[in-house]
Structure 1
Amino acid sequence: MARVRPGEAANPAPPTVQRIRVRFAKRGRLRFLSHRDIARAFERAVRRAGVPVSHSHGFSPHPRLSWIGAAPTGAASEAEYLEIGLTREVDPAQLVDALDRALPSGLDVLEAAVATPPALADRIDAVRWAVELPGVAEGELRAAVEALLAEESVVIERVTPSGRKQIDVRKALVKAAVVTASNGPGLATGTAAVAGCAILTAVVRQTTPAVRPDDVLGALDVVAGLTPPVPARATRMAQGLLDDSGELADPLGTDRVTAQV
């Protein structure tokens, strides 16, 4: 075996010459996939589609796929992001089409853009969720949301692998509103709300640990005793930089290429 000289990488790989940022959706039954399951699906898809993905150096090279804030297992999403390193330049539109055809239905590539500064992680500091609450009356949910927004601090406890953590949900909550299926946030195929089902929309700042939809529901239980009779279903609708009006800027910017449906 050849000796690796100081300052040299073991088993050097071709350099990365382009990075493309991709937005994809996690829909229907595939919302139950873990982040690792999704990562494996994309690793297989780039091979199947012949994408010239770059790899790390070393004796066990891995494709250069960088992930940003994966949605929790069980939550659907219309706004998952990753960045792909490439060994040659590729048209983002061709990449969207090739990846979407190579992935299973329910992991749907929506758009892509060539990466430009700043880093993708620096373009996201908040998330917008839509949470369907079957069996909860709209008026009851609205009263609970008003009670939550009236508080300055609402702390809930979450059990994590490293122990119990106290999370101030109200501090992270930028705004919340109640809608119905008829005027809701346009949930995608596989996540459509049931008619008459109250829907909570919430914009939440990124914190450590991140405030998740079940944390917001826990806070509603604390302030108003609201407990859904059946499990709620959450969909991440958007991620981005928060502006002064509480809206989120598109992380891909204006140069994105949208999938042709």
Structure 2
Amino acid sequence: MARELPEQQAPPVQRLRLRYAKRGRLRFTSHRDFSRAFERALMRSRVPMAYSSGFNPHPRISYAGAAPTGAASEAEYVEIGLAQVVDPDAVLATLASALPDGLDLEQVAVSPGGSLADLLQASTWLIEVPRPLAEVAAAVEGFLAAGEVTVERMTKKGLRSFDARAAVVELSASAAPKGEGAVVHLLLRHGTPAVRPDDVLAGMAGFGLATGAEHGGLPLLTRLAQGPFDEATATVGDPLA
């Protein structure tokens, strides 16, 4: 007997792009943890999701540019496909109340089309480092002066070595506004392989920056923005604009 073909689903009639933040303890939420919480919130909010075709239909959700586990962020993005046209402000109100505190929905906009992932070309970061400013500033200077800074990171394909310097557009250090320590300001261009802020910190270790539990604690990473990158002005735009 021929296998019965699965039901074909209609394509989405509307796509929405959403910006959310990871704050406080929820910065330790992994991408998998967030996707589960987000899909549960969509169900509770009764958002009219469109579904993929096939024997195991899934809601049409596109995740892009997720911050590493342990990093806080003010600029995480996701796109959803809907089976009905809805008011983005209504989705913002109902969905925000269904998400846990610390996963905070900030903005919902109608997608203009194209790929959301292609718009996330660069990001800005603030990194709080519990080390003296002089030490951090010296590591920044050494990092920027280097033509190449090779770092290693374990990936799904095993241990990889890559140049962390090429992705860094801007890097500076200033005194922490409260208490001791320093704040690192980082503008990072996205590419392949993807360089993360913790890779930059690993590279700075080669220029005298000591971090970790035995050196005052781990740095706190916060993504401030991500979006299209303007090479002329070295600024990061708004992917929902």
TM-score range relative to shorter protein: over 0.9
1:239 aligns with 2:226: yes
1:212 aligns with: 196
Q: 1:37-94 CA distances to partner (integer Å, 9 max, x unpaired)? A: 1001010000000101111112221111100021111111111100010011111111
- The whole-number CA distance in structure 2 between the counterparts of 1:234 and 1:62 is 32
1:116 aligns with 2:108: no
The 5 Å alignment of 1:166-177 reads 166-177=161-172
1:248 aligns with 2:236: yes
- The whole-number CA distance in structure 1 between the counterparts of 2:54 and 2:157 is 31
- The whole-number CA distance in structure 1 between the counterparts of 2:59 and 2:2 is 24
1:225 aligns with 2:208: yes
1:105 aligns with 2:101: yes
Aligned-residue identity in percent: 48
After superposing the two structures, state which structure 1 stretch, 40-49 or 159-168, moved more: 159-168
Q: Is the 8 A contact 2:122 2:229 kept in 1?
A: yes
Q: 1:185-237 CA distances to partner (integer Å, 9 max, x unpaired)? A: xxxxxxxxx53331111111112221112111111111x22112111111111
After superposing the two structures, state which structure 1 stretch, 41-50 or 89-98, moved more: 89-98
The 5 Å alignment of 1:37-56 reads 37-56=33-52
Which of 80, 87, 106 is the equivalent residue of 1:84? Answer: 80
Which residues of structure 2 form unaligned runs of 5+? none
The 5 Å alignment of 1:1-261 reads 4=4, 10-134=6-130, 136-182=131-177, 195-222=179-206, 224-228=207-211, 229=215, 230-243=217-230, 244-253=232-241
Using the TM superposition, give the Cα deviation of residue 3 of structure 1 relative to its aligned residue in structure 2, in angstroms: 5.4
Using the TM superposition, give the Cα deviation of residue 4 of structure 1 relative to its aligned residue in structure 2, in angstroms: 4.1
Corresponding residue pairs, total: 236
Using the TM superposition, give the Cα deviation of residue 2 of structure 1 relative to its aligned residue in structure 2, in angstroms: 9.1
Q: Is the 8 A contact 2:128 2:176 kept in 1?
A: no
TM-score (norm 1): 0.85
After superposing the two structures, state which structure 1 stretch, 162-171 or 96-105, moved more: 162-171
- The whole-number CA distance in structure 1 between the counterparts of 2:136 and 2:123 is 21
